[in-house]
A and B are shown apart, each in its own frame.
Chain A
Amino acid sequence: MNLTELTIADAAAGLRRREYSAVELVRAHTDAIAALNPRLNAYITTTADAALEAAGRADAALARDEARALTGIPLGIKDLFCTNGVRTTAASNILKNFVPPYESTVTANLLRDGAVFVGKTNLDEFAMGSANITSAFGPVENPWKRKGDEQTVLVPGGSSGGSAAAVSAGLAMGATGTDTGGSIRQPAAYCGIVGLKPTYGRCSRYGTIAYASSLDQAGPMARTVGDCAIMLQSMAGFDPRDSTSVDRDVPDYSAAVGRSLKGLKVGIPREYRAEGLSTEIEAAWQQGIAWLKEAGCEIVDVSLPHTRYGLATYYIVAPAECSSNLARYDGLRFGERVPAPTLDGMYEASRRAGFGAEVRRRIMMGTYVLSAGYYDAYYLKAQKVRTLIRRDFTESFQQVDVLLTPTAPTPAFGQGEKMDDPVQMYLNDIFTVPASMAGMPAMSVPVGLGDTGLPLGLQLIGRPFDEETLLAAGSALEKAAAFTHRPAIRAEVAK
C-alpha cells in the first residue's frame, strides 16, 4: 500500500483499524519530502523529527481510543501561518529567521484535532504572486509535466504553490492555504487538487501573516472534496481574537459531501467567457455544466456585470492594505535588520534587503493609491466598485444557489513564461478575484486533463457561509470526473 496516495478520510479509518501506525503514515511522508523536496522546493522548512514525535503521540491516542478527526494525519502548513517555535518566514528574507512564540488559531485548531505538521510550505513572498516565483527561498516546481515534455518546469500557481505541489505530489495528505485573490484556488487548479476558500470571516486570521486583511482567508487544500470538508471542519470557527471572524456555528461539512443536487440552481455567469479563455478550459467548463445537469441541477445563465472591474479593483485594494500591513517589518523588534546611522536609513536598508521586487512593487502601488490627492480617485473608487461587485453576487444568488466558472484562464504555465509583464501575471487571477472581493466562498475542483495533459479546474462560488453547497456540488463534479490522475513527480514513483 502506498501510504502517500491515501485520502485523509481513508487514512483516518486505516489508523483506527490499526492497518498502519501514525508513525508509519507520517514517516512515509517525511521520507517522500526528503526524496522530492530538494527538487520540488515545496517546503521552506521541514519538521520531520517533531512530526515523528507527534506521530508517536498520535499512536498513543489511537491506542487509548482518543483519536480525533485528524489524529496522525500529516499536513503541510503554508509558511504564512505562525507556528509556535517553528520558523515562519512568509517566504521573505525579512523574516528568514523569525520564530514566532505563538500559534495561529487555524493551526492551533488543526493541532487540537490531532494533525501532525510535516513542514512549512513555500509560497510567493508574503503571498504576493500567482506562480510561486517570488519566494525568497526559490520557486516551487509543479509536479505535473506537459505530455511528452519532461524538461519544461511548470509553475504550481500561487501564492499557495508549495501547499498545492506538496499535496499533489504526496508530500502531505492535505495542506493549509490562504487565499487573497485566488491563492488557494488557482494553485489547486494548476496542480490537480481541490482547494477551498471559505467565506471571509469563517476562519480566524489570528496568527496568519497579513497580506490584505479585508481579503485574506485561510482554507484547506487536499486531494478530494471530502478531505477538504474534514480539514475545514477543524479550521473554521469563531475566534474572539479576530474581530472579523464571524460568530456562527460550524455545520457538519462532511455531511454535505455527496448530498443530492436535485433542484439545485447553478448559475453560469456570462462575463466569465472572457477573451483569452483557452478552448480546453471552455470545453472543461461545458463538461462541468453537463455533469451538474445530469446530477439534477438546473442551469441558469446569470450576469455579473462588474466582473471586468474585479482585477483592477483588487490591484488597488490589496496593495493599499499590504502597504500598511507590511510597515511593521522595519528591522526594529523582530526580523532582519540592516544597521544604518539614522532611523530612516535603517528602515530603507532593512526593507530594501528584506523585501523582494514584487513585494516592493505592491507596497509602492499601495502607498500611491492611498496618498493625499489620489485616495478618492483610486482607493475610494475601488471600494465603491467593490460594493458593486458584491452586489452582483448577492443579486445572482437570488436566482441561483451556486455559480460555476473556470478557476483560471489557462492550465499551469512554464517557469519564465509571463514573467516580464506583471499585468500578464495578474491576469491569472481574473476568475478568482471577484469572489474574493465579495467575500464569497469558492472552491476549485479538478475535472480533467487538458490538451497538454495538465489538470484543469472548475470553480464553484457559493453564498456567504454556504460552504456546504460548494462541497455538495464539488463532490458531484469530482464523482462525475473521476479524476484519478497523478502528477509525473510523486512520492510513489520516487521510491
Chain B
Amino acid sequence: MSYTIEGRTGTWEIVVGLEVHAQVISHSKLFSGASASYGGEPNTHVSLVDAGFPGMLPVLNRECVAQAIRTGLGLRARINLESRFDRKNYFYADLPTGYQISQFTHPIVGEGTVEIELSDGTVRHIGITRLHLEQDAGKSIHDQDPTRSLIDLNRAGVALMEIVSEPDIRTPEEAGAYLRKLRQILRYLGTCDGNMEEGSMRADVNVSVRKAGEAFRTRCEIKNVNSIRYVMHAIETEAARQVEVWEDGGTVDQETRLFDPARNETRSLRSKEDAHDYRYFPDPDLLPLVVEQDWVDELEKALPELPDDKRARFQKEYGIPRYDAGVLVAEQAIADYYETVARGRDARLAANWVTGDLFAALNRTGRTIQDSPISAQALGGMLDLVSDGTINGKIAKEVFEDMLETGDSAADIVERKGLKQVTDTGAIDAAVADVLARNADKVEEYRGGKDRLFGFFVGQVMKAMAGKANPAIVNEALKKVL
C-alpha cells in the first residue's frame, strides 16, 4: 500500500532504513563470564572485565558468535568467515573502558533479505545491509538521587546484534511489518527474545523524504525507539516535519533526533557537527574472528524451520489457506500446537478450531498458547469425537466450553453430560413425525413452494432431540417424509 504526503509543492514519498539492536540470548556476556540475564540487583552481574579494571582483557564468547551466525542464516544473509572487532571510543559514565567493542569495517554477517507481507497481501523484500556483534553499555540512572547519577553495569558488555536494513522501507506499515517479521525470525531462532518493553530489542530509525524519482535527500536518525507502534508514529511525524522544512525553503540537517510519544514529535538530540568522532580502530586485544565453514554448516543444519518455510509447508501439507497458515506460524509455540492437533486429523477443521475458538478463548482468559487451559492433545481428542460422529459440531462447542472451564477431557464431558450424538433413525423418525404433525400448516406452506421452511423443520427436530441428533440423518429423514 503506498504512503505519500501531499505537500503544497507536490507529492512526497518517504525513505526509511532501520537499525535494530537485538540483545543476544546467551548465558554470559560477549567478552566476559558474567551473567547476561535480565534484571538482578544493580551491579551484581559485573566482572572485572566489564568494569574495565586495569589489565583486564576481553575474551570472545563463542556462543554469542553462534547466535549471530544463526541469525545471519535466518536472514538468508552472507556469513563472513573472517570478521573483526573494532573499538568505538567515547567517554560516558556507563561505558567503563571508554570504548565499545563493535564490528565497524568487517561485520560477521553481510547482505541478506527479509520478506514482509502487508495487510493487502502485497509481499515485499527488505534488504539487510549487515549484522554485527557489539557490546551493550551499562545504564545511567538519573532519577534516584537529587544530585548524583547512579550507574548500573549489569548490562555493560552484554552481546547485541545490530541489524541494519537497506533504505528499502517506504511506509510506516512496512516498517511495522519488517520489525514484526524480524522479531518473529529472532524468536524462532532463539537468538533474541524480541522483548521491546525490556529493551532487548530497540530500533534506530533513519528517515528521509523525497519526490518521486529523486535521489535520496538528507536523512535524520531517530534513536532508541522502543515499540513498533512508536516506530510507525515516529516515521509519520518525522516525515511530515521534513516535508514542512523542505517546503518552507529550508534544508533538513543530518542529525540525531529523539521521538517523544507523549507529544508525538521528534526533537533534535545532536547535530552532525556535534557528532562524536568515535576514532574507530581494530581492537588490539582481539584477534580477527575466523569461523570455519564447517561450523556454519553445522549451525545451519541445526536451525529450526523458519516462519516462511513453515507457512508454505502448512499450506501444502495441511491444505489450509495462506492467511490461516500465516496466523498459525506467527509464533513457534502456536505452530507446534497446531501441528499436534492437526497431525492425523482433519487439518482444516483443526485450523478452524485453533484460529477460531481457541484463540478467542485465550483472548478471553488472557492466556498465551504456552499456558492454554486446553492442551493440544485435549483439543485433538475432541476433534476425534467430531470425526467419528460421537458428537456433532454444535455439541462440540458446548464440550469445548466445558473443557475450558473444568479441564476435563472431551470424552469425559460427553459421557458425563450424555451428549453423545443420536444416530438412531427410529428416534429421529419419531421426532420428525412429531414435529411435522405439530406444524401441519407449515408443512402445507412448504409443499406449496416455501423451501426455506426446511431449515425450520431441522431446527425443531434438533431442539426436540436436545441438539444431539446427527444433522445429516435428520436432513435425510425430513426430506424423505416431506
Contact B285 A324 (CB under 8 A): no
Most-contacted residue by chain B among A81, A95, A206 (CB, 10 A): A206
Which positions 36-60 of chain B face chain A at CB distance < 8 Å?
A: 48, 51-60
In the bound complex, how far is the Cα of B224 from the Cα of A136, in angstroms? 43
In the bound complex, how far is the Cα of B93 from the Cα of A100, in angstroms? 21
Task: Select B52's contact among A241, A333, A367, beta carbons within 8 Å.
Answer: A333
Distance in Å from the Cβ of B48 to the closest Cβ of chain A? Answer: 6
Contact B55 A370 (CB under 8 A): no
In the bound complex, how far is the Cα of B32 from the Cα of A241, in angstroms? 10
Task: Select B99's contact among A98, A240, A324, beta carbons within 8 Å.
Answer: A324
Contacts of A238 in B (CB 8 A): none
Task: Select A243's contact among B54, B60, B91, B149, beta carbons within 8 Å.
Answer: B60
As a 0/1 sequence over residues 411 to 429 of chain A, the CB contacts with chain B under 8 angstroms (1 = contact) are: 0000000000000000000
Which one of A32-40, A190-198, A280-288, A371-379 is at the B interface? A371-379
Contact A90 B285 (CB under 8 A): no
Chain A interface size, under 10 / 10 to 19 / 20 to 34 / 35 or more? 35 or more
Contact A88 B54 (CB under 8 A): yes
Contact B53 A334 (CB under 8 A): yes
Contacts of A98 in B (CB 8 A): 54
Contact B58 A243 (CB under 8 A): yes
Contacts of B286 in A (CB 8 A): 243-244
As a 0/1 sequence over residues 274 to 307 of chain B, the CB contacts with chain A under 8 angstroms (1 = contact) are: 0001011100111100000000000000000000
In the complex, what residue of chain B is closest to A348 when comparing beta carbons? Answer: B91
Contact A242 B57 (CB under 8 A): yes
B89 within 8 Å of A (CB atoms) = yes
In the complex, what residue of chain B is closest to A81 when comparing beta carbons? Answer: B55
Which one of A165-173, A207-215, A270-278, A476-484 is at the B interface? A207-215
As a 0/1 sequence over residues 370 to 398 of chain B, the CB contacts with chain A under 8 angstroms (1 = contact) are: 00000000000000000000000000000
Given contacts A330-B91, A333-B52, contact A243 B97 (CB under 8 A): no
Contact B55 A82 (CB under 8 A): yes
Contacts of B48 in A (CB 8 A): 101-102
Contact A210 B279 (CB under 8 A): no
Contact A104 B87 (CB under 8 A): no
In the bound complex, how far is the Cα of B383 from the Cα of A395, in angstroms? 78
In the bound complex, how far is the Cα of B278 from the Cα of A323, in angstroms? 12
Contact B281 A375 (CB under 8 A): yes
Contacts of B361 in A (CB 8 A): none
Contacts of B199 in A (CB 8 A): none
Contact B55 A213 (CB under 8 A): no
B261 within 8 Å of A (CB atoms) = no
Contact A327 B99 (CB under 8 A): yes
A50 within 8 Å of B (CB atoms) = no
Task: Select B98's contact among A100, A212, A330, beta carbons within 8 Å.
Answer: A330
Distance in Å from the Cβ of A463 to the closest Cβ of chain B? Answer: 20
B167 within 8 Å of A (CB atoms) = no
B411 within 8 Å of A (CB atoms) = no
Contacts of B87 in A (CB 8 A): 324
B96 within 8 Å of A (CB atoms) = yes
Distance in Å from the Cβ of B45 to the closest Cβ of chain A? Answer: 15
Given contacts A333-B51, A371-B277, contact A321 B97 (CB under 8 A): no
B151 within 8 Å of A (CB atoms) = yes
Contact B93 A332 (CB under 8 A): yes
Task: Select A327's contact among B59, B91, B93, beta carbons within 8 Å.
Answer: B91
A384 within 8 Å of B (CB atoms) = no
Contact A332 B151 (CB under 8 A): yes
A320 within 8 Å of B (CB atoms) = yes
A347 within 8 Å of B (CB atoms) = yes
A328 within 8 Å of B (CB atoms) = yes
Chain B interface size, under 10 / 10 to 19 / 20 to 34 / 35 or more? 20 to 34
Contacts of A344 in B (CB 8 A): 91
A343 within 8 Å of B (CB atoms) = yes
Given contacts A243-B287, A328-B98, contact A320 B91 (CB under 8 A): no
Which positions 301-344 of chain A face chain B at CB distance < 8 Å?
A: 320-321, 323-324, 327-328, 330, 332-334, 343-344
In the complex, what residue of chain A is closest to B91 when comparing beta carbons? Answer: A347
In the bound complex, how far is the Cα of B60 from the Cα of A330, in angstroms? 25
Contact B54 A206 (CB under 8 A): no
In the bound complex, how far is the Cα of B149 from the Cα of A210, in angstroms? 29
Contact A370 B89 (CB under 8 A): yes
As a 0/1 sequence over residues 54 to 96 of chain B, the CB contacts with chain A under 8 angstroms (1 = contact) are: 1111111000000000000000000000000001010111001
In the complex, what residue of chain B is closest to A332 when comparing beta carbons? Answer: B93
In the bound complex, how far is the Cα of B48 from the Cα of A447, in angstroms? 44
In the bound complex, how far is the Cα of B95 from the Cα of A347, in angstroms? 13
Contact B284 A214 (CB under 8 A): yes
Contacts of A206 in B (CB 8 A): 55-57
In the complex, what residue of chain B is closest to A341 when comparing beta carbons? Answer: B147
Contacts of A367 in B (CB 8 A): 279
Contact B279 A371 (CB under 8 A): yes
In the bound complex, how far is the Cα of B43 from the Cα of A106, in angstroms? 29
Given contacts A243-B285, A347-B91, A371-B279, contact A333 B96 (CB under 8 A): yes
Contact A243 B281 (CB under 8 A): no
Contact A209 B54 (CB under 8 A): yes
A390 within 8 Å of B (CB atoms) = no
Contact B281 A324 (CB under 8 A): yes
In the complex, what residue of chain B is closest to A101 when comparing beta carbons? Answer: B48
In the bound complex, how far is the Cα of B434 from the Cα of A92, in angstroms? 106
In the complex, what residue of chain A is closest to B54 when comparing beta carbons? Answer: A209
Contact B55 A208 (CB under 8 A): yes
In the bound complex, how far is the Cα of B280 from the Cα of A399, in angstroms? 38
Contact A327 B97 (CB under 8 A): yes
Task: Select A244's contact among B51, B93, B287, beta carbons within 8 Å.
Answer: B287
Given contacts A333-B96, A371-B277, contact A328 B54 (CB under 8 A): yes
Distance in Å from the Cβ of A330 to the closest Cβ of chain B? Answer: 7
As a 0/1 sequence over residues 86 to 123 of chain A, the CB contacts with chain B under 8 angstroms (1 = contact) are: 00101000010010111010000000000000000000
Contact B54 A95 (CB under 8 A): yes
In the bound complex, how far is the Cα of B286 from the Cα of A207, in angstroms? 15
Contacts of B91 in A (CB 8 A): 327, 330, 344, 347
In the bound complex, how far is the Cα of B151 from the Cα of A243, in angstroms? 29
Which positions 53-87 of chain A face chain B at CB distance < 8 Å?
A: 81-82
Contacts of B281 in A (CB 8 A): 320, 324, 370, 375, 379
Which positions 229-259 of chain A face chain B at CB distance < 8 Å?
A: 240-244
In the complex, what residue of chain A is closest to B287 when comparing beta carbons? Answer: A243
Contact A100 B53 (CB under 8 A): yes
Given contacts A240-B59, A328-B98, contact A100 B284 (CB under 8 A): no
Which positions 138-169 of chain B face chain A at CB distance < 8 Å?
A: 149, 151
Which positions 134-176 of chain A face chain B at CB distance < 8 Å?
A: none
In the bound complex, how far is the Cα of B283 from the Cα of A320, in angstroms? 11
Task: Select B55's contact among A209, A330, A332, A343, beta carbons within 8 Å.
Answer: A209
Contacts of B92 in A (CB 8 A): 343
A27 within 8 Å of B (CB atoms) = no
A205 within 8 Å of B (CB atoms) = yes
In the bound complex, how far is the Cα of B60 from the Cα of A424, in angstroms? 41
In the bound complex, how far is the Cα of B59 from the Cα of A206, in angstroms? 11
In the bound complex, how far is the Cα of B89 from the Cα of A370, in angstroms? 10
Distance in Å from the Cβ of B43 to the closest Cβ of chain A? Answer: 10
Most-contacted residue by chain B among A205, A208, A324 (CB, 10 A): A324
Contacts of A209 in B (CB 8 A): 54-55
Contacts of A81 in B (CB 8 A): 55
In the bound complex, how far is the Cα of B285 from the Cα of A100, in angstroms? 20
Which positions 81-134 of chain B face chain A at CB distance < 8 Å?
A: 87, 89, 91-93, 96-99
In the complex, what residue of chain A is closest to B289 when comparing beta carbons? Answer: A243
The 7 closest A-B pairs by CB, nearest first: A327-B98, A370-B279, A214-B284, A213-B284, A328-B52, A207-B55, A209-B54
Residue pairs across A and B with Cβ atoms less than 8 A apart, 11 shown, are A212-B284, A213-B285, A241-B57, A242-B59, A243-B286, A323-B279, A327-B89, A328-B54, A328-B97, A333-B53, A370-B279
A244-B284, A367-B279, A375-B281 known, 15 other contacts, Cβ within 8 Å: A81-B55, A82-B55, A90-B54, A98-B54, A102-B48, A213-B284, A213-B285, A241-B57, A243-B58, A323-B89, A328-B54, A334-B53, A370-B281, A371-B279, A375-B280
